[in-house]
Amino acid sequence: MTARLGAFCFRHRWKVITWVILAACAGLAAPLAGPVPQEHHRGWRLTATVTGIDGGADAATATLHGTMRDVARIPGVTRIRVSGPATGHDHVTLAVTLARSADDGAHDAAAARAAARLRRIGDTLPGARVRIGGDAWTALAARSARERDARRSKVVAVPVAIAVIAVSAGGAAAACTLVVAATAAAGIAQGARLGLGLLPGAPDGATPLVPLLAFALAAGHGLVLLARYREELVPAYREALVTGGGEVGRAARAEAVERAWHGTGRTVLFGAAAIVIPLIALVPLPSTVLRAVAADGASAAAGAALVSLTVTAALAAALGGRLRPSPGAVASPGFNGALSRVEAGRFNRAAAFAQRHPVRVGAAVAALQAPACVPLLTARTPDLWTVFRPAEHTGPSGESYALYGAVGAAVPLALGLLLFLAGRAPGPAIGAPLAVLLTAAAAVGATTVPHGSALDPVAVTAAAALAPGLALNYALCPLGRIREYRDGGAERRAAVLWGAQAGGRVVAVAALPMVVVAGTLATARTDVTAQFGTVLLIAGALDALLLRHLLLPALLAFRDRDRDPRRRLRRPRRARPDAPPGHLATVHELERGDDRPPRA
């Protein structure tokens, strides 16, 4: 399916580019569906404590009464009164009650106008000092701080991510392709989120996470697709170099797109599904923000995958010869396409070590992450469990417990089925979902080190639901390459080593835009945004250091299908007659340089 989609977009490149750009512009021009939803009560009371005045003086009395008349005329204000001097006559408190309007914008505007008018008391009365408070002011200040953090994240993260893309893309044409695809994905994901908010029962508020997450995911998907497309072009460029035919023709490029999208495009789709599945666990929770984050993550993942599979192929056709493989790959005699033998590297050596000692590697990974989960099991973070508490109960009811348990059990099973379909290996399908959930818990526990035990339950729960999907999204790249080597006829151990090196090298670069986004969020000024980014950053570091390059090869070693007595006497699979250039037969054929089966 993905191969046909890539071929269609390659043939109709200008139509695809036009429609995607129009949809992206519409999504970017449309505002988010209302303000960011808030979990806590937004507040209805605004207070102004005025000190340093003589409450009985005529000037002070006239100023206070004039201020009360002006504030009472503000739309959205229902009542204002003087609480009276607290101690002496130099301390007066004005209490403003706001209307219980359903419009958050009108509520915030009324609170801001009332606070601005109350602050003018200090300009009118010499020596007077005004301190604004109340639950409405606290909620407005927190909301404004989060919006400033969101704007700062976009201003900082997007240029840095573009710079990373420009350095790692391998050429100006590839960098422009990735930037255009990532920007289009951000717009389409935002538009999809707007449409999703119109559905009955869907949260109508959206967080600024949508464009940032879509931009980073689409840039990573595009890097993986372009790298595979260039690898598939190597045989055609080598043939053109030998025959002196000049530039590679359009037909050869179309075949390269079809082969690249057949393998890597499938990985992109599985990666988007891996992101969406853990977010489903947030839907039954009694939290508006968590349901909004689930909708945001699903919109970003779907938009990034769709744009990457369509626009990247269309731009590859439009740019033509400007996207070409590296001269080193063309000149290398041992490289003959995407499924050629991969030379040894750091990812190859790590995978070889994990294959030799799978039990030790698995135990070491679990032992390294288990201590970080201890704060979740102690009384240091009691507020984290409030997200599971229904609003109408003081504690979770029996029905809520049953629903949470059913969803919690379904998520690992669904992730395991997805991994089995992606890699056709039972080891990762069983162990990887549990491993990424342990990594998410360890990341939340490790967040208590920089932020203390006062973690925001909504922020860390949202990040913990997003982190497993992101980890599996990047782990599917080497797993998909391993499956392709196995389908091409390579022996299991050679397929694991070559796939870990080829896929690990590409995904290490593809994950950089997401690292930039998570790092920008982790350095935010508000605790909620900083904790969300910190959990994602720690989970990404654990995934890159432990799961992707050590645990995944170790899980692939637990069931060696080549040791099955029923398969031991069967001849090794040979390359299909219609296989693309560079497709493997067996590891013995590659090592000897011919296509004869090995001796018994």
Task: Give me the mean pLDDT over the 29-34 stretch.
Answer: 57
pLDDT: which is higher, 42 or 497? 497
Query: For residue 285, what are the CA distances in angstroms to 191, 402, 440, 461, 470?
Result: 25, 12, 18, 11, 21
DSSP structure string for 308-338: HHHHHHHHHHHHGGGS---HHHHH-TT--ST
pLDDT for 317 equals: 87
Of these ranges, 304-313, 339-348, 477-486, 578-587, the one predicted with the greatest mean pLDDT is 304-313
* pLDDT at 275 (0 to 100): 92
Question: Among 30-44, 217-231, 237-251, 477-491, whose mean pLDDT is lowest?
Answer: 30-44
Q: With contact defined as beta carbons under 8 Å apart, do 445 and 376 qualify?
A: yes
Please check whether residue 369 is in contact with residue 438, taking contact to mean a CB–CB distance below 8 angstroms.
yes
Most confident of 147-151, 363-367, 428-432: 363-367
Give tens-digit pLDDT for 84-119: 554 445 677 888 777 765 556 677 778 888 888 888
Write down the residue that tokens 């994240």 correspond to: 153
Looking at this protein, which amino acid is placed at residue 571? R
Which strand (E) or helix (H) includes residue 79?
strand 77-85
CB within 8 Å of 287: residues ≥ 6 apart: 39, 387, 458, 461
Question: How much of the chain, in percent, has pLDDT values that exceed 90?
Answer: 3
Cβ count near 526 (within 10 Å): 19
Kindly report the average pLDDT of the chain as a whole number: 77
More confident residue, 527 or 270: 270
- What is the separation, in whole angstroms, between the first and last Cα of the chain? 39
pLDDT digits (tens, 9 = 90+) for 302-336: 999 999 999 888 888 888 878 887 777 677 655 55
Confidence of residue 290 (pLDDT cuts 50, 70, 90): confident
Integer-rounded Cα radius of gyration of the chain: 29
Determine the Cα–Cα distance for residues 188 and 304; give it in Å rounded to an integer: 8
Query: Model pTM?
Result: 0.78
Distance of alpha carbon 566 from the chain centroid = 43
Indicate the pLDDT class of residue 229, thresholds 50, 70 and 90: confident
pLDDT given at position 46: 79
Task: Answer yes or no: is pLDDT of 584 > 60.
Answer: no
Q: For residue range 487-510, what is the model confidence (pLDDT) as tens digits?
A: 877 778 888 888 888 888 788 888
- Strand order through the sheet with 129-133: 77-85, 91-98, 45-51, 129-133
- Paired tokens of 515: 């690292």
Q: How far apart are CA 458 and CA 480, in angstroms?
A: 34
Instruction: Label residue 327 exposed, middle or buried (CB < 10 Å: 0-12, 13-18, 19+).
Output: exposed
Return the C-alpha torsion angle 58, 60, 66, 70, nearest 10.
-170
**Residue 391 has what pLDDT?**
46
Place of tokens 């300009």: 123
